[in-house]
Structure formats: structure tokens, C-alpha cells
Chains A and B, each alone.
Chain A
Amino acid sequence: MTAPRLRVLVCDDELQILRGLRIVLREAGFDVVAAQSAQEALDAAALHPPEAAIIDLVLPDGDGVDVCRQLRTWAQMPIIVLSAVGDEDVKIAALDAGADDYITKPFNPRELIARLNAVLRRVASNVDEPTIRVDGLEIDLAARTVRRDGRDVHLTPIEYDLLRLLARNRGRLLTHRALLSEVWGPQYADDTQALRTHIANLRRKLEPGGEPHYIRTDARVGYRFLA
């Protein structure tokens, strides 16, 4: 296979991390554009628009959240943030600002590459397909019907909206706030109780063995649909 190598922007102020990442990513088939500050990252992204970006949350001239927000104003490429701060709030802010996923330092580079490929698949599959088919689950977006292993699954309107939002963002970690304001409306953005209840119902109807398969939980942050 001689597919064109995808360009990935990597922004981290630690040169030592960049050195290793460059080699690991190159081996996985990516071209790496490295940046060591927020400004460098934004300049590099504008100059050679990358297919994906990996952004450290702690940068010398600002934080990664701002970089995500600014990239999102003009680009739809998937963004993974690197968080070293044990601070959930910053992660969630980055996700709300448009990041697709996060990974906590120290991470296994293989895990990073798996996440990267997952968010890239989401972009590849996101071309307004009328039907989303994943692992025996079939969501017909035109007819608003859901079938699993050929059998109809009956969902309430809210459950259907939730599932559609998650499925259309396959692999992307959606925060509680993002799900709530999208499905229920911005004024309900903090009602995580309702969200948990509906996710539980949705899982009961979808998941075959009760094991979360299609909808994965990221405790305290949000949910993602199977990549």
C-alpha cells in the first residue's frame, strides 16, 4: 500500500518528547511537523495544514486549550491533547474547545497511535453516510431506525438523538456537557444525572451481553462511540 503519508502536527515544549515521538510516528506511517509553542503550532498548521494534531496542554506561551479553540475556527482535523496535569477540568475544557480525545502522560506511544488512527477513521467515515454500520449495529439516519443483528431496536427520541450524536462522532470523546447541550439544549448542560440515566437505558437496549461495547465510558469526562 502506498497511500500518501498523513501529516501530523505535534506540539510539545519538551524537545526530548518530540525526539522520541517523531520516530515512533514516522514508523507508524506519519509525517511529523513539530512545534514547541502554541504560536509555532498555529503557524505550522496554517502553513501546511495537517491531517491531525497532537497538542500538549501545557505550553510556554499559552495553553493547549487555546490552540484547540483556534485550530477549530478554521479546521476540522482531529486533535488529541496530551495532558500531564492530573486536572480533569483542563482536559474537559480542551475537549469542549474541540479536541477529539486526550491521553495522559506518561503514555504508551502505541496507545497514542491507536487513538490517532481511531480519530482519523471518524473523519474518514464522516461523509454524510445515510447509514452507520458498526459491528452488527445499523443506524439508518434517514429513516431514524436502529437495528442490531437484523432486529429492530426501539429507542425513545432522546435515546436516538444521543446514539446518533455519539455514532456520528465515532472515536471522539464527547464530554457530558457537549452531549447534554447538543441533545437537551444548552440550559441542561449540567444535568449529568439525566445523561447517565439515558445512557444506561440505551446500553440496556443495545449492548448484547450488558458489557459496554458500542458506548464507552470515560469516567468523569464523557462518552465515546466505538471507534
Chain B
Amino acid sequence: MSVVGRPRDSPWLVDAPRPPAWGVLLVMLAAAATTLVIYPLREIAPEVSPGVVYLLAVLLVAVYWGLAYGLLTSLVSAGAFNFFHIPPTGRLMIADSAHWVALGVFLVAAVVASAVADLARTRAAEAERRRGEADLAADTARVLLGGATLADALPEAGRLVGAALGLPDAEIVLDPAAESVRPQGVVLDLGAGREAVLVLGAGTGDEAVRARIRERVAPALEALLRAALERDRLQAEVVETQALRRSDVIKTALLRAVSHDLRTPLTAIITAGHAVRSPVLEGGERDELGLVVVEEAQRLAALVDKLLDLSRLQAGAAEPRRDWCSLEEVVRTAAGDVCPDDEARFALSFDPGLPLVQADAAQLERVFVNLLENARRYSGGHPVKVRARVVGGKMSIRVIDRGPGMTPAQLARAFEPFYRDAASDTHPGSGLGLAIVRGFVEANGGRVRAESLPGHGTVFAIELPLAEERAPATTAERSS
């Protein structure tokens, strides 16, 4: 058994208060009990020799209560031994001089035993403290350095330190704004002008406790906090570098996109403009050229819309203006925009009694214009299916095409702006559509993901939250 056998998570830093009255009572009890135990022993042993039993009491008291009480037990035991067991009993007198020697030897032995026991007790307590400190340092390191950021880890670290110190209200405050927290705690210097305060909580005005914390806990805690700050700084740098690199990539891609996607329709328009003035036009060619100009100008306009959507999203200016809106209306409008002449290209199906959603209708329309355009482009003439229903308390819309599908690698990057699969893309897309889809869906609190089976087609699944208060169901029960 450990000499100071206290549970690991009990406060080890500060000794529990021990009222002296209890100590004196314990000493008396120990001496009395020993005295009683010796009576039966006297029947079988020479009168003085059972005095050794008192040593046991001295040892136990010294081990648990310290040197002072051990010495007190020695004295009281000597007195009791003399009074009750050394003849003449009942009086503090010693008749036989040999008994004087025995009592003297007993006292010396008791004092030495007290001192040795106390030394062991102190060492064990110190070892226990060090173990506690090491445990605390390891636990705090795990919390401070293992977490995402220092700010996230601080409450847990404060709780750990508090539990170890027996201060349930303890917390660590980084860069305290108010001067008022400083006197209540221990200031930790984190270097570079930053500091933290270990606030000890209520009822700890004890300067000894603070000194002990400053000496034993603060240095390790300071080192850990510094390391965590440094880790945060490095992480921020990495994130910043990545963001810069990413924005560089986006800028380059934007340049390429603008360069290619704007120039191509412009070239067609300019060429058609020159061609239409040719005196040698054959039948129908004039109409054809007129159509080229209109179609290519529409393509330019659509691209400009997309670039505007995307720049709004990237500038964070796409704050949705939410209102009740009917998904069926939104999807039908989008389908009409994408394919004004031929709505049969889309097979739209809406569950009866579909609730309204709280969202920005204009942004949702852009989502579906982009998704339907995309699906139609890849579906190889098959109709594109759209199915809307409520699943698991959320509005779920699936856009299903029977195109060539996407490989996992393509899927992983499908929502990145300007991502086009260079090798297989024979379709004129800007590479912006899906980035816009994701941007607007997420701005409206929803999620979008893509699933694909190469060779069989692709499903884009959108989930939109339904409002807490149920919206009136749409009356529409059509499905086409």
C-alpha cells in the first residue's frame, strides 16, 4: 500500500487541512489502545518488554500525521507505559533502575522511528505530487497540442488543471481583457507580449497555494501554451499559403476561362458579321449566320451571368434573401430557361403536397439552371430526370442524367471552379456551373453531392432544410 494512498484525481498540490485537535485525540487514542493491548501480554512476557508495542502506534501516527504527532505519541506512550505498566504501576515512578534504562531506550527508539516514518511520508507525498504534476503536464499537453486550435482546447485544459488542483472553477484566460482577473489568478508569461491567467476561482485567496502553483504548475503550463501558440501560428501560415496558392490557381483558371470562353463566341460573332456581308451568300446562309450571332451572343450572356454569380459567391456577397418558395415553381422556371422550346427533355416529378422551403428563389433558380444545363449537356439526348420529395425531414431533389458518368477522381473535383476534365471534355462548358451550384445551395443552408456510375450516368442530390414551422403545402399534385 502506498504510504499516502490518495486517489489520483484528488488534489495533490495542497495538503488537506488537518485540525490539531483531531491529531491530539488520535494520539491519545493510539496510546490508550496500546496500553490496553499490553495488559494481556504482561501475563506471558517479562513486565517491561511489551513496551515495544507502543512503537507500532508511534510509527503509524508518524506515517499518517507527521513528525510532530509522532513525537507527541512517543512522549504520551512513555508516560502511559510508566504509569500503567512499569512497577510501581498507578504512579509516575520507577523503582528499578533497569526500568529507567528501558524507558530511555524506548523513548530514543520512538523518536528515531517517528523521524524515519516522517521522512518516508514526506518522500512518498513528494513522489505522489511529482507523479501528479507529470500526469497533469501530459494530459494538458495532449489537450493543448492535440486539439485543433489553442482557443478550442483552453476550456478543457482549464478543467484539467482545475481538477488536479481541486479548484472546480479554475479556468485559463488567454490575453485577459480585464485587469480584474489578474489578482485572482496566476499570470503566465507566453512571450511576445502575450500572457494568460490561470484564474483559480472562488475561495482561493491563499497566497501559499498561488506560490505553490507558480512554482510547480506554471512553468510547464507556460511552455505548453507557448508551444500551442506557435503551433497555431504555423497552422495559420500554412492555411494562408494554401489560400494564396489556391487563389492564384483560381486567378489563372479565370484568365484561361475568360480567354477561351469569351473569345470563342466573340470569334463566331465577328466572323458571322463579316460573312453576312459577303455578296456570294447561298440560300439559307444568311439565316444561318443570323442564328450564329444570336446563339453565340446568348452564350456570352450566360457566361457573364455565371462569372457574376461566381464573383458574388467568392466575394461573400451572395447573402440569400429568404422567402417561402415553391420548389416546383423554381425547377419549372429553370427548365424553361434552359430549354425553352423542348420541355420534354426534362422529366420532372414532384411528390404531392410538397412543402414550401425557406430560401432565395432567384439563387435556387440559378442552381437548377446550372444543374439542368449540365445534365442536358452530358445526357446524350436522353431525358434528364428531376425528382423532388421530402426525405428524413429534409427536402431532397435529385437530378439524374444518363450521360457517361464521372470517375471518382472527376467527382472529387467536380465542384471546383473552372474544373473541366481536359481529356474527355468535348462539351463546351465553362467549368463554373457546379461551383455556382454548390455556392448557392450552401448559402441557403443546404448540401449538394454527386454520385456517379461511369457509363450509366450521374446523380446530383440536393438537400435543403425544411423550416421548423411547417409551411402550407403546395396544392399542386401534378407530376410530369
Contacts and interface: CB of A to CB of B under 8 A. Distances in A.
A110 B271 CA distance: 9
B289 A19 contact: yes
B274 A17 contact: no
A107 B267 contact: yes
A14 interface: yes
Main secondary structure of the interface of A (DSSP, over half): mixed
Interface in B292-343: 292, 295-296
A13 B275 CA distance: 19
Interface residues of A, number: 27
Interface of B: 255-256, 259-260, 263-275, 278-281, 285, 288-289, 292, 295-296, 425-426, 428
Contact of B259 (A22, A86, A108): A86
A17 B256 contact: no
Which of B263, B279, B295, B428 has the most chain A CB atoms closer than 10 A to its own CB? B263
A60 B423 CA distance: 8
Given A16-B292, A84-B259, A27 B278 contact: yes
B270 A87 contact: no
23 contacts: A14-B267, A16-B265, A16-B292, A17-B268, A17-B271, A20-B268, A20-B270, A20-B272, A20-B275, A20-B289, A21-B271, A23-B280, A26-B280, A58-B260, A82-B267, A84-B259, A86-B256, A105-B266, A105-B267, A107-B267, A107-B270, A109-B271, A110-B274
Nearest to B427: A60
Contacts of B295: 16
Main secondary structure of the interface of B (DSSP, over half): helix
A19 B264 CA distance: 13
Contacts of B256: 85-87
A150 interface: no
B432 to A, nearest CB: 17
Interface of A: 13-14, 16-17, 19-24, 26-27, 58, 60-61, 82, 84-87, 104-110
Contact of B267 (A84, A85, A87): A84
Given A16-B292, A86-B259, A106 B270 contact: yes
Contact of A20 (B255, B263, B274, B426): B274
Identify the 5 closest CB pairs spanning chains A and B, nearest first: A20-B271, A23-B275, A60-B426, A106-B266, A16-B268
A97 to B, nearest CB: 19
B259 A85 contact: yes
A108 B285 contact: no
A105 B261 CA distance: 11
Given A24-B271, A27-B278, A19 B292 contact: yes
A4 to B, nearest CB: 18
Contact of A109 (B263, B265, B275, B280): B275
Contact of B292 (A20, A61, A108): A20
B280 A27 contact: yes
Which of A16, A24, A82, A87 has the most chain B CB atoms closer than 10 A to its own CB? A16
A64 to B, nearest CB: 13
B266 A108 contact: no
A106 B265 CA distance: 8
B362 to A, nearest CB: 30
A2 to B, nearest CB: 16
Nearest to B424: A60
B281 A23 contact: yes
Contacts of A82: 267
Contacts of B281: 23
